[in-house]
Amino acid sequence: GTYLHSFSNSTGCDSTAILNLTINPSTASTSSATACDTYTWNGTAYTASGSYTYVTTNSNGCDSTATLNLTINPSTTSTSSVTECDSYTWNGTTYTSTGTYTYSTTNANGCDSTATLNLTINPSTTSTSSATSCNDYLWNGTTYTASGTYLHSFSNSTGCDSTAILNLTINP
């Protein structure tokens, strides 16, 4: 606006000062953001949720304050170790070899989730033997008196199935 101020000058005459005044406003803004792990705003990387402000000068030369309401959601990782016999199915894939496997997906917050599986696969074992005997034959604690194929199942040293097969011939 325009403002007038009247007064007497040093010689006693009337004097009027006119002020043409323009008030430029400062500005403020607020925004919200959600990100995984880190978010860069106005040149600064943020890794924690919170309310952050950035003060600069607007086009009128006045203060400009921007406020960011930030939510940082974490990515997730997990590691598990498993020992199985012959094969192991994990996240829809069947593995038959010892190794380290990863599975990547999205967690409940929409961020990366990486699971690591340290897998040990131990084999089941099978052995076959043949024997010929007169009258009877003692094998794995059982006495057999007739020819035939016999199976004995037990656990091997790694805890997996082990099957022994005996092809037996009994001569009278």
Question: Has residue 119 got a pLDDT over 90?
Answer: yes
Instruction: Return the pLDDT at 24.
Output: 85
- Mean pLDDT, the chain, integer: 95
Position 5 pLDDT exceeds 90: no
**Can you tell me the mean pLDDT for 32-39?**
98
pLDDT band at 9 (very low <50, low <70, confident <90, very high): confident
Mean pLDDT along residues 105-121: 97
Q: Which of 140, 88, 90 is nearest to 115 (CA)?
A: 90
Let me know: does 88 contact 82? Beta carbons within 8 Å: yes
| Whether the Cβ atoms of residue 164 and residue 151 lie closer than 8 Å to each other | yes
Q: How many Cβ atoms are within 10 Å of 129's Cβ, its own excluded?
A: 10
CA-closest candidate to residue 161, choices 109, 84, 81: 84
Query: How buried is 51 (Cβ within 10 angstroms: 0-12 exposed, 13-18 middle, 19+ buried)?
Result: exposed
Condensed to tens digits (0 to 9), the pLDDT of residues 73-103 reads: 999 999 999 999 999 999 999 999 999 999 9
- Comparing C-alpha atoms, which of 17, 15, 21, 25 is closest to residue 2? 21
Per-residue pLDDT at 22 exceeds 90: no
Range name among 16-20, 108-112, 127-131 with the lowest pLDDT average: 16-20
The secondary structure of residue 26, as a DSSP letter, is: P
User: What is the reported pTM?
Assistant: 0.65
What's the chain's Rg over C-alpha atoms? 42
